[in-house]
Amino acid sequence: MKAINSFFSGTRGIITVVLIIGILASLLQAALSHNFGLASSPAGIGPYGAQAVIPGILFCLFIGFTMRKQIS
């Protein structure tokens, strides 16, 4: 709530900048997923939504395994 309060109060800070970037990024992600048929609706899953899950999981696993500390 602190970030939203700082945005509405007009204070200039890094929290406000990060908040605005996050809002814009989520709007861009929603637009891209709807345009490319990845988003679901009450009518059902999008035409390419199920196929997009596998690369997403593989990407997360890749990041997880490459960014962990080495056990020695």
Query: Is 49's pLDDT higher than 70?
Result: yes
Q: What is the pLDDT of residue 40?
A: 84
Q: How far apart are CA 68 and CA 42, in angstroms?
A: 39
Region 20-31 average pLDDT: 88
Torsion of Cα atoms, 55 then 61 then 63 then 67, to 10°: -170
Q: How confident is the model at residue 72 (pLDDT cuts 50, 70, 90)?
A: very low
Region 32-40 average pLDDT: 86
- DSSP one-letter string for 31-61: HHHHHTT---BTTB--TTHHHHHHHHHHHHH
Residue 39, sorted as left (phi over 0), alpha (psi -120 to 50) or beta, turns out to be: beta
pTM to 2 decimal places:
0.53
